[in-house]
């Protein structure tokens, strides 16, 4: 039988268990048809590139399937009717890679990074700190005359 990868995006209102239930239903129907789920990955709640049906986030799930083309067509029809599924995409592949997908491996790299040292000075934070009186106009005024000249002071 041909091999397929299906990625589905579920609404962010549903729980992770409900997304797992959708994948379980696909798996039980597939096993009844003589195929099997070879790979299953939950990628988590992730932000969408653009709003889909008023949702900004979605639960992502990857399924590696060993199925007949007729089953895939019926599965896609049922996913299209399911209100919890925002989008899905099925692609025929030559072989299912047993290693974790790029999404999961990148997530683990982010967790291993940890503390990366002190934050470098930003664009506006470089150099010495200046107080209120360090501005150029105050230095010029203070150096000009000191106590000898004060505007508004009447001479007697």
Residue pLDDT, tens place only, 110-130: 666 666 667 666 666 555 555
Q: Give the confidence band of 99 by pLDDT, cuts at 50, 70, 90.
A: confident
Q: In the numeric block, which tokens belong to residue 111?
A: 């967790």
- The reported pTM is 0.66
Q: Please report where in the chains the tokens 């967790």 appear, as a residue.
A: 111
Q: In what order do the strands lie in the sheet containing 55-66?
A: 36-52, 55-66, 3-11, 85-93
Rounded to whole angstroms, how far apart are CA atoms 38 and 34? 13
User: What does the pLDDT read at residue 60?
Assistant: 94
More confident residue, 11 or 142: 11
Mean pLDDT to the nearest integer, 102-113: 70
pLDDT tens string 8-61: 999 999 999 999 999 999 999 999 988 889 999 999 999 999 999 999 999 999
- DSSP strand pairing (85-93 vs 55-66): unpaired
**Superfamily of the domain at 3-95:** Ribosomal protein S6/Translation elongation factor EF1B (3.30.70.60)
User: What does the pLDDT read at residue 115?
Assistant: 65
Mean pLDDT of the chain: 81
Mean pLDDT to the nearest integer, 134-152: 57
């Amino acid at each position: 039988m041909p091999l397929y990868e299906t990625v589905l995006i579920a609404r962010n209102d549903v729980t992770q268990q409900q997304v797992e239930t959708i994948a379980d239903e696909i798996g039980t129907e597939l096993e009844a048809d003589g195929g099997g789920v070879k790979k299953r990955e939950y990628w988590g709640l992730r932000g969408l590139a653009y709003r889909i049906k008023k949702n900004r986030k979605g639960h992502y799930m990857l399924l590696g399937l060993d199925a007949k083309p007729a089953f895939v067509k019926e599965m896609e029809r049922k996913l299209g009717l399911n209100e919890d599924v925002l989008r899905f995409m099925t692609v025929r592949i030559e072989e299912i890679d047993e290693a974790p997908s790029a999404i999961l491996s990148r997530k683990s790299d982010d967790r291993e990074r940890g503390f990366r040292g002190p934050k470098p000075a930003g664009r506006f934070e470089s150099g010495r700190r200046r107080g209120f009186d360090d501005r150029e106009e105050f230095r010029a005024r203070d150096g000009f005359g000191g106590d000898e000249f004060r505007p508004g002071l009447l001479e007697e």
